[in-house]
Structure 1
Amino acid sequence: MQEFSNGGQAQGGQEQTPAPAPQPQPAPQFQSQPGIQNMPKKPSRSKKLLLWGSVVVGLLIVVALVFAWLRLSSTDSIAIEVILPERVQVGVPFAAEVQVSNGSNTDLRDARLSVSLPSDIAFVGSGASKVLDNRSLESIASGVTAKEQWQLIALSTEDAIKQLRVTVSYLPGRVSSRFEQAVTKDIVLGSAAVALDITTGNKVLAGEAFNAIITYENRSQTPYENVVVRFITPTDYVFESSEPEASRSIAGGKSWEVAELPLLARGEITARGSYSGATGSNFDLRAIVSAKIGDVEYAIAEKVATITVAESPLALEISLDGGNDRVVEAGQGLKYTLRYRNNTDVGLRDAIISARFEGEMFDLKQLQTDGVLRGSDNAVVWNASRVSELANIAPGASGSVSFTIRTKDNYPITTTNSKNFLVTVRGEMESPTVPRFVDAERTVGFVAVTNKVRGQVALETVGFQKEPTAQIVNTGPVPPKVGQATQYTIHWRVANYSTDIANAKVKAFLGPNVRFTGVAQSTTGVLPTYNERTQEMSWEIAKIAATRGVLSDPVEAVFQVELIPSVGQVGKSPMLIQESSIVATDSFTGVSLSDTGKEVDISLPADSTISGSEGRVAE
């Protein structure tokens, strides 16, 4: 085998030199010509044409889509027409027809129709509170007109224009966005089917009865059934009577039921009452006629009469000495004065003044007056025979009458409801002379004053050595001895009369050498307390009901005291407790009530077991 060294030897024994490794060639150098820069290769003409064609096609598509959108959303091709009577009679049902015409080239999907009513227009068969009704038209094909109809009724308001609003919404073609279109239509209201009126005088006198005449007439071509006439009055109006008699009382007034109201039928109601309002004030009387149409009752006519309270031709005032707002009490003398004045420009003839008493607390036996007490109603009366000026009261003239009366000494308590007593004097002055501007049968003036009667609380203080109740036992020598403790019990008893009282407090000081043992009981659950430094006993009562202690047992507290006599008290009857007092608030009148209980010494007049020397200190 032939060996090779240093890279080997060529066949045939000849030595070969290895070929040199190829060297990297430098990149070819290009020399720019003057004025020419290196630039990318330009696109071909065909590619340019393709690019511009794509842009144009895209723009055409966008324009087509916008055009289609505008065409579909245009309201010009969707027409809404509302067909109504030229003039609507209030209280008579009428038809409202809505036509939706699709003039577009595409179907309208999921079409919905909405009708919104103005005030005083109602859907027949629904209550007046319903003002919106929605219906589905489903699909409206191109070139098709959809129709819907509603039965409506106008309520109460006459000779007015109301606006009906109709809205249609839809999905055009395959577009997923919902479009909406709305129109309004005037409803021209004419007169009411049922003519309604209230006739009264323009002015009335406060407290003087007057007539209100309600007339109603069916002027339509529609007969009505189940008709109800309502007469609504203000709070200060007092209904006295009517012809015909009212069917029932309702909130704020009266109502009359009319079985039917045929064509051209007419009815009349005369209501009589009075109104107590301030001079110059206005008040409204309202009449409403309603009828059933289907199963629903509708107010088909309404009328309001506004009336002014005229200044009374006879101004009458009443005053109570001490003030008209004063609180009076049992067994008290009261002086009343009635003052009058002729406010007209004519003389008022044959005037009569009366004062009527209301309230159980008046003692008519104590009446003092120059008038006459009328037996039929216990009213004091003055006429020209008692006061000559009443024969003819000249224009602008004035005068007065007066009387004095006492309240009863005792409250007329018979039941637990015998409480919160009032005393009222009602004055009246009238003359047959009637001024021209007043709608009345006579000239009259009214006045009244009402006063609350305060309650009364009574405190009784009694003492025992032999306690009548079993819960407390008194010990110690009787008679008491110097230096030795003898126990006694003190009772506070509280009676309350004609009003509830609150925040009552009873208190008293104990006598010399007397202290509270700490033993006590109470019917209220609150025990008396003791101040050792001042020797004061006190008892608080949150509330005591009226008649407690009059018709039932009084409120009571019992507490034990202890006397240790001194030498200086031998042979005497030392005081166990000084004068007691109670103060409370009258819940009815707001005034303060008070009373006192007598002091108690060891002679104990309430304790039958103590007599003679047992009520005096022994050595």
Structure 2
Amino acid sequence: MVEKKAKKIPVTTGKKMNQPSDSEKRSSQEKAKSESGVNTLVSIYRQDHRQEIDMTRLERKKFSKKRLILTLLVILLVMFAAASIAGFFIFNHGQGKKGESIELTITAPKTVDSGGEIEIEVTYLNKDNVAVKDADLTILYPDGFYFSHSEPQAQNEANTYWKIDRIGSGTGGKIKIYGQIIGDLNSTKTFLASMNYTPANFNSVFEAKSSHSLEITASIIELSLETPIRIVSGQETEIDVKFKNNSKLPLSNLKIIAAFPEGFSLTEADPAMPEDGQFWLVKELAADTENIIKLKGVFQGNPGDAKEIRFQIGLIMNEGEFRLQSEKSAIIFIVKPELNLQLTINGSNQEMAVDLGDTLEYKVTYKNASDVELRAVMLQAQFVSETSILDLTKVNDPQNGTIEEKSISWGALQIQGLSTIVPQAEGEFTFSIPALSVISPLKETDRNFSVDNYIKVTAVESEDTAVDFEKLSESNHIVVKVNSKVNLETEGRYYSEEFEKLGSGPLPPEVGETTSYRIFWSVSNLYNDLEDVEVAAILPKDVFWTGRATSSTGGAVTFDVSTRTVTWKINRLSANTGQLFPKADANFEVSITPTAKQEGKLMVLINDSSLSARDSFTNYDIETSSPLVTTDLENDIAGQGRGIVVSKTADQNLNQSSDLNQNNNSNVNSN
């Protein structure tokens, strides 16, 4: 084979020639790379002095036996380690991982009222084809949950652990937990449940988890405020704060916090606040129970000012933390009264008490305190009471107002001055109403009678139509209470109503002989309870206390020798005693031994009796009395008319005359 050599073609830069194509360029580059690669390999295998290595011969070097054994040992150790790791994962697969065999679910409300009782149901189901063993359930309760009981019962003191043991394939169970949840409004409470178990065909422990969150959206504590909408600066205002436990469980450690506006001064609080803060503490509020805090205070400000009063109620937890349960606020506007109304009864503008049958003299004063003219004013007197105590059939009204069941109304037709009242103009009128003479209680609750009297505006025309005159123009209120009606009866007896002998000695009384009598006190009381009741009377000097006395109620009847006063005290006497309940009675024995100077006369056994007491409803002192009792014994049918003292001789003659009359009657009857 003859090797052909390529001829070199000289390249002249100054002459034009054909340019090689792109493909020709790439072919030329690849050929150059190939030749370069060959040259590189040759250089590698070329010996020193630039001689090439003879590749036709290969020399085998001897391998060390010791090195071979060491290599085999390393390979065996690696294989053993790999087998151990694989076995560990095969026999302990799932350790500490989330279980898939058990389905764990928590069922509970999504929203609750703070303080209410809730039911939590935890269900578990084995979805695997094999049973599980060593199962146990643990519940983690949120802060503010108070455990009550569970079904079944928990197996630890904290009531968070249940031992279940075996759960068959396709089976399950449930645990019901009951308790009370307490927390801040709009807060979230989360319950966590976890179950550890081991499948029957494994040795590892699996874990199933579940959680449930609920939101506290309301409270079982109901808070409400009763405040006026508009007030007059400087006048005392009443505010009622009511709070109620709407749950079926009692609530402990409640705290009510007050936030008063600037310009408000508290004048009275019932119950009182502690000195170190504007709050109240309630130790316990029973289920379905309402309490009230009554406040009185004065707002200072300018007409048009708005005053906000705010109250919060919550629970104090064991750590002293306050958990808000409800919050209420009210806006009160300070206004300038447009029509001032003042009412007096019997010359007073304060609460009073009257007896039935008394007449109440009313006086109404009105004044336009606004800057506008008032026209077509209508006024109305209100008499508010559950049981009417006023006799509106006997009203004395010179103005001839319109009388209704519990009101009297006047307008421009009755009072000309009400047609137009210019600014700062004023006027007045009077009328009178008697109280009923008798009120007959029919049931135990027929007691503590009263009437609330006040004057209000029912209609008006003015330039300022935004003013609510029915709210703003109202007079002061005057409560008129009815005093209790007490009656004391005193009587002397020798014989009872059944003609039983109560006394001893001669009747009529004889000179030098001792005759004893019984004195009876009887007390009846209508309308109100009485306190500190005391009945007393003085014995004449010639009447003697024998010491024999009894009473149906109250303390014992006593006698003071130094003052010769007989006294009977009763701590409390119920309303309507003697009407719906038996009268209160007491009796005691006295005796007389007439002298010759008293012959032919009646003797006084006891002087006037008096009763004093305190009316617990009206706080008025009640007094009444009954007249003295003589030997005439007016109420003793068998003994009356035999009270004049006689001598022994006259008495014997009287007895002989009586015996003679009896014999004559006997003879008449015989004939």
TM range (shorter): 0.5 to 0.7
Unaligned ranges ≥5, structure 1:
1-90, 92-114, 117-124, 136-149, 154-223, 239-249, 254-275, 289-297
Match of 1:339 among 357, 362, 365: 365
**1:530 and 2:563 matched:** no
For 2:341, what is the secondary structure of its paired residue? strand
AA paired with 1:404?
S
Residue-by-residue CA offset, 1:274-303 (whole Å, 9 max, x unaligned): xx9978675559999xxxxxxxxx999999
Residue-by-residue CA offset, 1:27-74 (whole Å, 9 max, x unaligned): xxxxxxxxxxxxxxxxxxxxxxxxxxxxxxxxxxxxxxxxxxxxxxxx
Partner of residue 425, structure 1: 453
Partner of residue 490, structure 2: 461
| More strand, by proportion | 1
For residues 600-619 of structure 1, what are the structure 2 equivalents within 5 Å? Answer: 600-612=629-641, 614-619=642-647
Partner of residue 236, structure 1: 227
AA paired with 1:505?
E
For residues 365-376 of structure 1, what are the structure 2 equivalents within 5 Å? Answer: 365-376=393-404
1:409 offset after TM fit, Å? 2.1
1:472 offset after TM fit, Å? 7.8
Partner of residue 128, structure 1: 184
Residue-by-residue CA offset, 1:422-480 (whole Å, 9 max, x unaligned): 12223112443245483548786112321222212211100101134899832111111
**1:394 and 2:419 matched:** no
Instruction: Identify if the C-alpha distance between structure 1 residues 549 and 436 changes in structure 2 by more than 3 Å, giving closer, same or farther.
Output: same
Partner of residue 105, structure 1: none
Q: TM-score, normalised by structure 1?
A: 0.53
Distance 2:242 2:409 in 1: 38
Residue-by-residue CA offset, 1:236-265 (whole Å, 9 max, x unaligned): 359xxxxxxxxxxx9679xxxxxxxxxxxx
Match of 1:415 among 443, 465, 471: 443
CA RMSD of aligned residues (A): 4.5
1:610 offset after TM fit, Å? 2.1
For 1:425, what is the secondary structure of its paired residue? strand
Partner of residue 590, structure 2: 561
For 1:234, what is the secondary structure of its paired residue? strand
Partner of residue 403, structure 1: 431
AA paired with 1:617?
V
Partner of residue 522, structure 2: 493
AA paired with 1:236?
T
AA paired with 1:582?
L
* Conservation of the 8 A alpha-carbon contact between 1:578 and 1:599: yes
| More helix, by proportion | 2
Instruction: Identify if the C-alpha distance between structure 1 residues 319 and 303 changes in structure 2 by more than 3 Å, giving closer, same or farther.
Output: closer
* Conservation of the 8 A alpha-carbon contact between 1:367 and 1:404: yes
Match of 1:348 among 350, 369, 374: 374
For 2:601, what is the secondary structure of its paired residue? coil
1:374 offset after TM fit, Å? 2.9
**1:383 and 2:448 matched:** no
Partner of residue 78, structure 1: none
Partner of residue 314, structure 1: 339
1:526 offset after TM fit, Å? 2.5
Match of 2:533 among 482, 501, 504: 504
Distance 2:645 2:424 in 1: 80
For residues 95-174 of structure 1, what are the structure 2 equivalents within 5 Å? Answer: 127-128=183-184
1:366 offset after TM fit, Å? 2.7
Distance 1:599 1:472 in 2: 22
Match of 2:512 among 478, 483, 495: 483
Of all paired residues, the percent bearing the same amino acid is 26
Partner of residue 390, structure 2: 362
Q: TM-score, normalised by structure 2?
A: 0.49
Partner of residue 438, structure 1: 466
For 1:594, what is the secondary structure of its paired residue? strand
**1:450 and 2:479 matched:** yes
AA paired with 2:442?
T
Residue-by-residue CA offset, 1:339-367 (whole Å, 9 max, x unaligned): 11112221111111111223422111331
Distance 1:525 1:413 in 2: 24
* Conservation of the 8 A alpha-carbon contact between 1:430 and 1:444: no
Residue-by-residue CA offset, 1:538-578 (whole Å, 9 max, x unaligned): 11111110110233321110111111111111111111111
Distance 1:340 1:490 in 2: 58
AA paired with 1:388?
Q
Instruction: Identify if the C-alpha distance between structure 1 residues 152 and 438 changes in structure 2 by more than 3 Å, giving closer, same or farther.
Output: farther
* Conservation of the 8 A alpha-carbon contact between 2:362 and 2:431: yes
AA paired with 2:432?
T
Distance 2:537 2:594 in 1: 20
Distance 2:212 2:575 in 1: 64
AA paired with 1:615?
G
Partner of residue 47, structure 1: none
AA paired with 1:349?
R
1:373 offset after TM fit, Å? 4.5
AA paired with 2:372?
V
Distance 1:486 1:286 in 2: 77
* Conservation of the 8 A alpha-carbon contact between 2:184 and 2:324: no
For 2:559, what is the secondary structure of its paired residue? strand
* Conservation of the 8 A alpha-carbon contact between 1:579 and 1:599: yes
